[in-house]
Amino acid sequence: MKTAFAYATDENYVKLTAVSLYSLLHVNPGATVIILADGILDASVDLFKRIAARTGGTLRFLDAAAAIKRVKGTGAGGYVSFSAYSRLFLPDLVGDEFDRIVYLDGDTLVVSSLQPLCELDLAEKPFAIGYDCLCNKYKKMIDLTPNAPYFNSGVLVMDVAEWRRRRCTERIFEYMENIRHDFMFGDQDYFSLVLAGDAAILPPEYNFLTHFQMFKSRNAVLRATGIPACAWYGEEQYAAAQRQPAIHHFLGNTLGRPWYRDSLNPLRETYRRFAAEAGVPEVAEQSRPVEMGYRLQHLCWRLLPQPLFAPVARAMYEYYFHSRYGV
């Protein structure tokens, strides 16, 4: 099975993507990587090429302009950048050259071989995707039922032919054009609303969210977020991911994203080292102080045993959603 890895980026996210690309090729030398580029500069192209040359990878650049133009035509907005939507077009853009695409967001760090993803049994589904740990109240905002699964699209394993056969991209755009297009988390919400029945579940070690660093047990996640057990990983799956994460995906700011100078994330020094080796040490020195609310939650995380921290975290999450969105 011929597999390529892929990123989507605009100029704002080039250096973060460069660190992730370096980490990917550092532990998966010789991989083929597709860069879906949204107007990046020649200097950024050269940066990616230098990383690939040093690590033995092969790069392909694809222009995402037409894909992003179509997304903007729907009136879509939200928290994510438009370049993130371009991942939806990957199976069409690569044609028949690859059987499988493994997509990664640029705010990831690869620390183990991804060969198992090249061989992952998708059970005839068009893609594999992992569960998100977003507070369950968010589902109300996007008209999902409380027991429905909610996904995180930062890592995807896509069966190119099956994705096209089931018209996954077109079905999402039909929803955007005819029903709703203004979701906060962009295409991630459409995976949960439109394609949930087509999803194979990605093992959590391959999209190891920052919240997984915070909550060492499955039950702690469920208590902290309100996610029902039927829409989450099993205990053995979650415990296996805790033992050996393969792809760290940095979300939220309780621990702090590790490229911030004041980050409290335990992987801060690891990220700094990878950034330096990738040739962009400055990306790990970004200035963004951790806000007081996050510092308070971090203090609770450090001082309280997990059975006590989980309900405290839940109260904080629910207060945030109620105060900001009224849910």
CATH of the domain at 200: 3.90.550.10
Confidence band for 53, pLDDT divided at 50, 70 and 90:
very high
Residue range 96-122: mean pLDDT, rounded: 96
Number of domains, the chain: 1
The predicted-structure confidence for 241-296, as pLDDT tens digits, reads as follows: 999 999 999 988 788 899 998 888 999 999 999 999 999 999 999 988 778 888 88
Domain range enclosing 55: 3-325
Tokens of 320: 């945030």
Q: Which residue has the higher pLDDT, 72 or 32?
A: 32
Percentage of the chain modeled with pLDDT above 70: 98
Comparing 50-54, 103-107, 140-144, the range with the smallest average pLDDT is 140-144
With 80 as the cut, is the pLDDT of residue 77 above it? no
The span from the CA of 229 to the CA of 53, in Å, is: 45
User: In this predicted structure, which of 76-80, 249-253, 310-314, 322-326 has the lowest mean pLDDT?
Assistant: 76-80
Alpha helices in 226-284 (DSSP H): 235-243, 268-278
Does residue 207 have a pLDDT over 80? yes
3-10/208-209 β-pairing: unpaired
Whether the Cβ atoms of residue 158 and residue 103 lie closer than 8 Å to each other: yes
Task: Dump strand ranges (E) for 145-226.
Answer: 151-159, 199-201, 208-209
pLDDT at 137: 87
Greater confidence, 248 or 70? 248
Dihedral angle, C-alpha 34, 39, 43, 46, nearest 10 °: 20
Distance CA 231, CA 125 (A): 18
- Mark residue 152 as left, alpha or beta (left: phi above 0; alpha: psi -120 to 50; beta: remaining): beta
Q: What is the pLDDT of residue 202?
A: 98
Return the pLDDT at 295: 85
d(CA 289, CA 286): 9
Structure tokens at 116: 């198992």
Closest CA to 279 of 36, 4, 26, 61: 26
What integer pLDDT is reported at residue 274 of this predicted model? 97
240 burial type by CB count under 10 A (0-12 exposed, 13-18 middle, 19+ buried): middle
pLDDT at 79: 61
Give the amino acid at 133.
C
Mean pLDDT of the chain: 92
Q: What is the mean pLDDT of residues 218-243?
A: 95
Cβ neighbourhood burial of 123 (10 Å; 0-12, 13-18, 19+) = exposed
pLDDT bin (cut points 50, 70, 90) of residue 324 is confident
Residue 316 has pLDDT above 80, yes or no: yes
For the chain, percent of residues with pLDDT exceeding 90: 73
The stretch 82-101 carries a mean pLDDT of 91
Which pLDDT does position 147 carry in this prediction? 96
Q: Is the pLDDT of residue 210 over 70?
A: yes
Predicted confidence (pLDDT) at residue 318 exceeds the cutoff of 80: yes
